[in-house]
Structure 1
Amino acid sequence: MSKTSFNNCNKAFSAALRSRVNQYFKTNNLSNTGNTRLYIKSIALLAGAIGFYAVLLFLPMPIWGCIFICALLGANLAAIGFNIMHEGGHQSFSKKTWLNTISAYSLNMLGGTIYFWKQKHNISHHTYTNVDGLDHDIDIKFMRTHADQPHRWYHRFQFAYWFVLYGISYIAWVFFQDFEKYFSGKMGIKAERKSMPLREHLIFWATKIGYVGIYLIIPITMVGWLPALLGWLVVGISCGFCLAVVFQLAHVVEGTQFPAIDTTSGKIEQEWMIHQLSTTSNFSTDNRLVSWLLGGLNFQVEHHLFPRISHVHYPAINKLVKETCKEFGVVYLEHRTMGHAFMSHLRHIYRLGIA
């Protein structure tokens, strides 16, 4: 674990915000975890994925229809990640520990490894958001996401090839990045090597074998190898693109900061909550459909400030955060629509590519 810390001398802002959020739950007699609406949505998303999978295997369709359903299945898998796995991984899906665990392991159903994800996401990304060398989510191969990263000759073309990398990100995650972590024992290039419990070794291999069986062997047996492989590619590209874009719109856009560590003190010169606000941006928070599909990850600011609170509470928390930021003069970053955030991201990576 990194010895880097935050300058928490002035905690007036964080103390006020935490007090107001805690009071909100106390006054309204609410649990900070998910509710019936989340559970119904989760069932619908799981049923949708199973339905799309069954249709592709058992219902004859023209090629364009298969491609369309495969793309929908990929987006559905991403939505399961946003709404079920992500909440379970943060222990915010339910008050019941066992239900959070099951929800978190839905990532393994998609071919990923929750054991790795919790270390990389919950610890590295959520603690040291946008800090080079510590937040491994901004270390994207062949992409320059902030000015402190070295500029390579190929970065000048990243505005043209970004969509390829985002599209293959899910497939690369399942078949390359997880194995890279497994055999190196590291969550990132600069991370420390960690041993893996025997139980996690067994789960890792069961996950990968299960993924190949469900997403490749069964479809090849049912519909033939060429349609199965093409369908798998469409599903993977659709899922990967959805996952990558949502992350980028929250952290790699104009206005978000990439703070450096003070070489003398070893500290990041911001209080932790202020750091989260300076490195994270919201988008399209007035769009209920976007919020529903993304599991509230368009309220990324509220999520980073309170990762153990379920996204079903973000609209209410959002008002408290904005009020407190205004009172203390803290900058609150957001884009009105997803389209605006997307264009901001493209401008950001274009400028970093040519600089």
Structure 2
Amino acid sequence: MTRAYSEVAREVRAADLLGRARWFYVLVGAGLLAGFVVLAAAFVALGSSWWQLAVAAGLGVLLTQCAFLAHEASHRAVLQGGPANDRLGRFVATFVVGTSYAWWMNKHSRHHANPNQVGKDPDISFEAIVFTPEAAQRHSGLRATFTRRQGYLFFPLLLLEGVNLHVQSVRSLLVRGPVAGRATELALIAAHFALYLGALVWFLPPALALAFLGVQLAVFGLYMGAAFAPNHKGMPIVGADERLDFFSKQVRTSRNIAGGWWATALLGGLNYQVEHHLFPSMPRPHLARTRLLVRAHCRSLGVPYTETTLMQSYGIVVRYLNEVGLAARDPWTCPTLDRFRGV
């Protein structure tokens, strides 16, 4: 499989699919800036109107799109050179979105190195949601009751993910030990919330300001979670001690979302998850062509290449999480009834 990756990489280089796509990111940046201008104008024009909640929802969507851009910058896909990408990513993630770039880099780099691997991928190490039957079996009582229904509760919980991302970001910057750009990020996050919350308090009455903040965070969390959930959840879990070659590990644990340009726009390029994991620094516009190369190689080698629709992927996620959750212990189960259940 190492040879397979080398062959795909050679074709990718020959087609210049790793080259910069400045024109694309200039358009993305201009679009995001225009979006902020429109929302700011609507915010001022609406005043103390409950229609402000529509502006809040729009801001949640726009900040998620900014997070997609910061994600690509963290992979060195936007600008030429690592430092330039880091500066862009840190500014967009911390000042514009209000989350820690250093925390994201640490977490996301570990995920890319070992996707869906127990004990190594932080994305399957959540406290609230469990991704393996072994983890579910450790739950009992009310926790087990929740876990057995976690698939149905997953998307509602994402409404709180926006708050969680901000809390985790700040917490990561306050821990002891070295943190890259700690002072800069704390200052930028503080500036973000000072300007944002200051504008809400200045222009809106308290109840409306609180509702605005709640809607924005809920939409941001739901959109972020719904964009990242289809990528790996419900795909094979790699055991803690299992060893796979790079090509097999990245392809077998990733899922693409069909849909073409609209899926790319909606999900920030995350719809090409297989190609993104094989070539993390590839700019978004090149992923579609790379998909054809990777899929052809997988077909010739007999390697499973997973692609489904967005709604089907959500169904898979819900079913998988519920199936895993059924392993949770129920201290109130009658042993006799459990023995004869299904007879």
Offset at 1:97?
A: 4.8
Correspondence for 1:47 among 18, 34, 46: 34
For these two proteins, the number of residue pairs brought into alignment is 319
Name the counterpart of 2:311: 339
Name stretches of at least 5 consecutive residues in structure 2 with no aligned partner. 328-343
Once residues 289 and 134 of structure 2 are traced to their aligned partners in structure 1, the CA distance between those partners, rounded to angstroms, is 36
Contact 1:93–1:310 (Cα < 8 Å) also in 2? yes
Matched, 1:60 2:38: no
Which residue number corresponds to residue 321 of structure 2? Answer: 349
> Which residue is 2:300 aligned to?
327
The whole-number CA distance in structure 1 between the counterparts of 2:40 and 2:121 is: 35
2:98 corresponds, among 111, 115, 123, to 111
In structure 2, C-alpha distance between the alignment counterparts of 1:331 and 1:31, rounded to whole Å? 24
* Residue 335 (structure 2) aligns with: none
Which one of the candidate residues 216, 220, 223 is aligned to 1:242? 223
1:179-225: per-residue Cα shift (whole Å, max 9, x none)?
A: 3323445xxxxxxxx5225xx23123213311321221221112122
**2:78 aligned residue:** 93
Check whether the contact 1:251–1:280 (CA below 8 A) recurs between aligned residues: yes
**Aligned position for 1:205:** 186
Q: Do 1:325 and 1:331's aligned partners in 2 also have CA atoms closer than 8 Å?
A: yes
In structure 2, how many angstroms separate the alpha carbons of the residues matched to 1:45 and 1:294?
A: 15
Distance in structure 2 (CA, Å) of the matches to 1:275 and 1:314: 19
- Partner residue in 2 for 1:225: 206
Q: Equivalent pairs: percent with the same residue?
A: 23
Aligned partner of 1:19 among 10, 18, 28: 10
Give the aligned partner of residue 188 of structure 1.
none
What amino acid does structure 2 have at the position aligned with 1:271? D
Residue identity opposite 2:248 in structure 1: I
Equivalences for 1:191-340 in 2 at 5 Å?
Answer: 194-197=177-180, 200-253=181-234, 256-262=235-241, 268-284=242-258, 286-335=259-308, 337-340=309-312
Deviates further, 308-317 or 149-158: 149-158
**CA-CA distance at 1:98 after TM superposition:** 5.6
1:214 and 1:163 map into 2 onto residues whose CA distance is 30
1:156 and 1:354 in contact (8 A); partners too = yes
**1:178 alignment partner in structure 2:** 169
SS at match of 2:221: helix
In 2, Cα distance between the equivalents of 1:148 and 1:281? Answer: 23
Higher deviation after alignment, 49-58 or 108-117? 49-58
The alpha carbon displacement at 1:324 in A equals 0.7
Change (3 A) 1:143 1:97: closer
CA deviations on 1:136-155 (whole Å, 9 max, x unpaired) are: 12222211123342332120
Conserved 8 A contact 2:152-2:318: no
* Counterpart secondary structure, 1:92: coil
Q: CA separation in 2, counterparts of 1:206 and 1:302?
A: 35
- CA radius of gyration, larger in: 2
Query: Quick check: 2:47–2:203 contact (8 Å CA) kept in 1?
Result: no
CA contact (8 A) 2:78 2:85 kept: yes
| Conserved? CA contact 1:57–1:223, under 8 Å | no
Q: Which consecutive segments of 4 or more residues in structure 1 shift more than 3 A?
A: 96-99
| Counterpart AA for 1:171 | V
Q: Secondary structure at the match of 1:149?
A: helix
List per-residue Cα deviations over 1:265-307 (Å, max 9, x = no partner).
Answer: xxx32101210111110012x3312212322111111101100
* Partner Cα distance (2:170, 2:32) in 1: 28
**3-state DSSP class of the match of 1:131?**
coil
Contact 2:5/2:247 (8 A) holds in 1: yes
